[in-house]
Amino acid sequence: MPELPEVETIRRDLAPTLVGRRFVSVELLWPGIVRQPTAEELERRLPGQTIAEVARRGKYLLFRLESGETLLAHLKMSGSLVLRDTAEAASPYLRAVLTLDDGRRLGFYDPRKFGRLWLVADENEVVGKLGPEPLEPEFTPQELYTRLLRHGTPIKALLCDQNFLAGIGNIYADEALFYAGIHPLRLAREMQPWEADRLHCAIRISLERALANRGTTFSRYRDAYGEPGRHWEALLVPRRPGAPCTRCGTSIQRIRLRGRGTYFCPDCQG
């Protein structure tokens, strides 16, 4: 699933091109992609609207419109938004096409059909319950520690909870916990203040490094130009079971935690 670095990479790609542009048409090849309002209503309301800002909240892309409405997109497991100068090549995975007033087309591709679009007057209807943004200055080590104390949940599961912290998923939770030297099954409320400080730093490092490499592509993720992210080569623990730890040489282990594959070094994170 695209996480914060992947969605933020797409946002940065799209913002310079889309701000000030106007939607002229919407083609829904799979109407089920629209969560709110109805597909017919979105096709009617979106054309003619001008994009004032391209923003991100957690794993959501937000196209804030001059009318005050917001078009939101969530890529879910396998979605991608690709901007093209010409009509898309035939693809069975193309679910929606948003055409702009300069002729360019924003295609929403999604093999697994989990991705969704919303057009709402109040974006908080969709993203209002998300936790803090981990890269914002307001997210401090003290705030992280205070929030950790409220939960008797394994720390890996908690980091993947979007209501706890927005934008982190499986890949970067594993990576941050490795950087911080914290076992994924450790209960959140057992953390000491110094561990919260270290985890706070590790979260930011893992996300910023991924951003510098334009995200991680294992299979489906593509940026707004249709290119894969490069960060998979730099990952230290995710999807490396049996590989030697880069710090101590111990084999990376894989366990299942609440349905998610979880990777860690049993020595460095013991």
The C-alpha atoms of residue 205 and residue 91 are separated, in whole angstroms, by 37
- For the question of residue 76 being annotated catalytic, the response is no
Distance of CA 233 to the CA centre of its chain: 19
Report, as an integer, the average pLDDT of 172-186: 97
Q: Beta strand 105-109 with 94-100: parallel, antiparallel or unpaired?
A: antiparallel
What's the burial of 68, exposed, middle or buried (CB within 10 Å: 0-12/13-18/19+)?
exposed
Residue 270's pLDDT band, with cuts at 50, 70 and 90, is: confident
Active-site residue, selected from the candidate residues 2, 5, 154, 238: 2
Report, as an integer, the average pLDDT of 52-80: 97
Say what percent of the chain tops pLDDT 90. Answer: 90
Sequence spans of domains, the chain: 4-127, 141-234
Say what percent of the chain tops pLDDT 70. Answer: 99
Residue 257 neighbours by CB under 8 Å, 6+ apart = 154, 156, 157, 184, 185
User: Other C-beta atoms within 10 Å of 62: how many?
Assistant: 19
**Residues in a beta bridge with 74:** 60, 116
User: Is it the case that residue 90 has pLDDT exceeding 80?
Assistant: no
Per-residue pLDDT of 10-39, as tens digits, reads 999 999 999 999 999 999 999 999 999 999
**Pair of tokens at residue 150:** 């409220």
**More confidently predicted of 127 and 87:** 127
- For the question of residue 3 being annotated catalytic, the response is yes
pLDDT of residue 89: 64
pLDDT of residue 219: 80
Report, as an integer, the average pLDDT of 141-147: 97
Residue 263's pLDDT band, with cuts at 50, 70 and 90, is: very high
Report, as an integer, the average pLDDT of 222-248: 92
User: Is it the case that residue 189 has pLDDT exceeding 80?
Assistant: yes
Active-site residue, selected from the candidate residues 64, 113, 147, 260: 260
Q: What is the mean pLDDT of the chain?
A: 95
Residue 223 neighbours by CB under 8 Å, 6+ apart = 6, 9, 10, 13, 214, 215, 229
Report, as an integer, the average pLDDT of 127-144: 97
**Pair of tokens at residue 60:** 């959501």
**Residues in a beta bridge with 117:** 34, 73
pLDDT of residue 85: 87
Active-site residue, selected from the candidate residues 3, 6, 8, 175: 3
- For the question of residue 59 being annotated catalytic, the response is yes
The C-alpha atoms of residue 67 and residue 203 are separated, in whole angstroms, by 36
Cα–Cα–Cα angle for 36, 61, 141, rounded to 5 degrees = 120
User: Is it the case that residue 220 has pLDDT exceeding 90?
Assistant: no
| SS3 of the chain: helix, strand, coil, percent, to 5 | 30, 25, 45
pLDDT of residue 259: 87
Contact 207, 200 (CB under 8 A): no
Its CATH architecture, for the domain 4-127, is Alpha-Beta Barrel (3.20)
Report, as an integer, the average pLDDT of 246-259: 94
In the Cβ-directed half-sphere of 213, how many Cα atoms lie within 13 Å?
16
**More confidently predicted of 166 and 77:** 166
The C-alpha atoms of residue 18 and residue 100 are separated, in whole angstroms, by 8
Active-site residue, selected from the candidate residues 11, 57, 59, 214: 59
Its CATH architecture, for the domain 141-234, is Orthogonal Bundle (1.10)
